[in-house]
Amino acid sequence: MSERFYSYVIIGGGLAGAAAVEGIRQHDTAGSIFLISAEHDAPYDRPPLSKQLWTGAKQVENIFVHPQQFYTQHGVELKLETDVTQLDAGGHIVRERGGDSFRYNKLLLATGGTPRRLTIPGGDLEGLSYYRTLRDYRDVRAAASPGKSVVVIGGGFIGSEMAASLSVNGLAVTMIFPDEYLVSRVFPTGLGSALTDYYRSKNIGVLAQDVPTAIERTAQGYVVHTRTGQHIPADMVVVGVGITPNITLAKTAGLKTENGIIVDEFLRSSQSDVYAAGDVAFFPDPVLGPRRIEHWDNAITQGKHAGRNMAGANEPFTDMPYFFSDLFEFGYEAVGNVDSRLATFADWQEPNKTGVIYYVDAGRVRGAMMCNVWGKVDAAREFIRKGHTVRNEDLRDAIR
């Protein structure tokens, strides 16, 4: 066992952790950096795992955030496949499972999330994919031969993207999810229902308002049993039912947590030398209020911002992150609070295909989704920041 000192320790080798290195080096070109990751691979972009890697638009070698030499050139020690098991925030020490300890001046928790698992008989069967990592992509890609059958459990972001990607690659896909339509947490009823019908027109079996009750392993593969009495045979099962933020390390260290690690406007936790960014950060959005965001852009912008502040920038985080998705020929970008429980107004050029959906609360636009409308993220951000009270008629052609 050994103990070493670093100016900066980053726990988490995802987008936020990789971006933090850039932020640190913008203000401190000399301080030592240690990036610890539980992953098998160096930091990479996650969106291609369910999108471009399946369409051929990208190859695995194209998705890494930085080339390997970046870490050497920027004085970063990168340690993969390493679990941090203890944080002594008062003593400025982290310890990994192997027993080694690392002291730090500043620490970033960019620990991401863990896929939620099915708590049903067979939910822990070998071969089920709780899809999230590059290793998961490699495993599913190796098994995903055209003509095979797959059950996709979950109708949110990962479920909808994986169902489309696997279908395009020639697999027979059946989806199971408890909601009335796809991506119900974000899409208003009209759009969600139209897209669900569109999936069915692509020969995807859609079992909406249903849930798996058991998964059985057979000589041929799997059988997924559902609440409504369906028994679906499949060669593969892919599960995407959300993630749980990895905040155990922070909680046991005594940091304040809620639905994530609570940070201030500088992304500092309740311990002033410990910062958090990405999926785990519960931060005070100056426009929309405290929230936690699990999307790509948030991980990058918060990671870089946290790195800058760790190195002394002392700048409040005011970005309004966006996210995007591609579902067959339907693509969208969204910014702000796109919650289907809010009132919505759809300014369609072509119904349920091209246009802008506004999410309105108390007469103010809180979010916007641009459906097959591109290059309008900044305009949408500005529109939301203004916070004007609006009527539906005010929203026609407001963002085009």
With 80 as the cut, is the pLDDT of residue 1 above it?
A: no
Q: How far apart are CA 271 and CA 65, in angstroms?
A: 29
Task: Indicate whether 321 belongs to any domain.
Answer: no
With 90 as the cut, is the pLDDT of residue 154 above it?
A: yes
Secondary structure class of 50 (helix, strand, coil): coil
Each residue's pLDDT tens digit, 81-100: 999 999 999 999 999 988 89
Each residue's pLDDT tens digit, 265-290: 999 999 999 999 999 999 999 999 99
**Do 104 and 126 belong together in one domain?**
no
Q: How far apart are CA 359 and CA 388, in angstroms?
A: 13
With 90 as the cut, is the pLDDT of residue 251 above it?
A: yes
Helix then strand then coil, in percent of the chain rounded to 5, is: 25, 35, 40
Task: Indicate whether 316 belongs to any domain.
Answer: no
Q: Please tell me the number of Cα atoms within 13 Å of 76 on its side-chain side.
A: 30
Total domains, the chain:
3
DSSP 19-75: HHHHHHHHH-SSS-EEEE-SSSSS-B-SGGGTTHHHHTS--GGG-BSS-HHHHHHTT
**Do 89 and 196 belong together in one domain?**
no
Task: Indicate whether 259 belongs to any domain.
Answer: yes
| Segment (H or E) for 101 | strand 101-109
**Do 353 and 304 belong together in one domain?**
no
Domain of residue 205, CATH code: 3.50.50.60
Task: Indicate whether 322 belongs to any domain.
Answer: no
| pLDDT of res. 3 | 78
Secondary structure class of 55 (helix, strand, coil): helix
Banded model confidence at residue 400, pLDDT cuts 50, 70, 90: confident
Q: Would you say 181 and 208 are in contact if contact means Cβ atoms under 8 Å apart?
A: yes
Q: How far apart are CA 184 and CA 195, in angstroms?
A: 11
With 80 as the cut, is the pLDDT of residue 64 above it?
A: yes
| Segment (H or E) for 251 | helix 248-252
The pLDDT mean for the chain works out to 96
Q: How far apart are CA 144 and CA 387, in angstroms?
A: 47
**Do 247 and 107 belong together in one domain?**
yes
Task: Indicate whether 400 belongs to any domain.
Answer: no
Q: How far apart are CA 36 and CA 17, in angstroms?
A: 9
Residue that is last in its domain, among 204, 239, 274: 239
With 90 as the cut, is the pLDDT of residue 393 above it?
A: no
With 70 as the cut, is the pLDDT of residue 2 above it?
A: no
Task: Indicate whether 197 belongs to any domain.
Answer: yes
Q: At what angle do helices 296-310 and 15-27 cross, to 10 degrees?
A: 30
Each residue's pLDDT tens digit, 193-248: 999 999 999 999 999 999 999 999 999 999 999 999 999 999 999 999 999 999 99
Give a three-class secondary structure readout of 283-334: EEECCCEEEECCCHHHHHHHHHHHHHHHCCCCCCCCCCCEEEEEECCEEEEE
Give mean pLDDT, residues 358-372. Answer: 96
**Do 217 and 249 belong together in one domain?**
no
Residue that is last in its domain, among 215, 239, 263: 239
Both tokens of 176, joined, read 């199971």
Domain of residue 347, CATH code: 3.30.390.30
**Do 25 and 95 belong together in one domain?**
yes
**Do 79 and 223 belong together in one domain?**
no
**Do 171 and 107 belong together in one domain?**
no
Task: Indicate whether 39 belongs to any domain.
Answer: yes
**Do 162 and 229 belong together in one domain?**
yes
With 90 as the cut, is the pLDDT of residue 399 above it?
A: no
Residue with tokens 């002394």: 312
Give mean pLDDT, residues 313-329. Answer: 94
Each residue's pLDDT tens digit, 96-152: 988 899 999 999 999 999 999 999 999 999 999 999 999 999 999 999 999 999 999
**Do 90 and 144 belong together in one domain?**
no
With 90 as the cut, is the pLDDT of residue 359 above it?
A: yes
Each residue's pLDDT tens digit, 159-181: 999 999 999 999 999 999 999 99
Banded model confidence at residue 397, pLDDT cuts 50, 70, 90: confident
Q: How far apart are CA 134 and CA 141, in angstroms?
A: 10
Q: How far apart are CA 66 and CA 63, in angstroms?
A: 9
**pTM given for the model:** 0.95
Residue that is last in its domain, among 266, 281, 310: 310
**Do 273 and 360 belong together in one domain?**
no
Task: Indicate whether 70 belongs to any domain.
Answer: yes
Q: How far apart are CA 263 and CA 268, in angstroms?
A: 5
| pLDDT of res. 125 | 97
Q: How far apart are CA 165 and CA 159, in angstroms?
A: 10
Range of the domain at 59: 3-114+243-310
**Do 172 and 228 belong together in one domain?**
yes
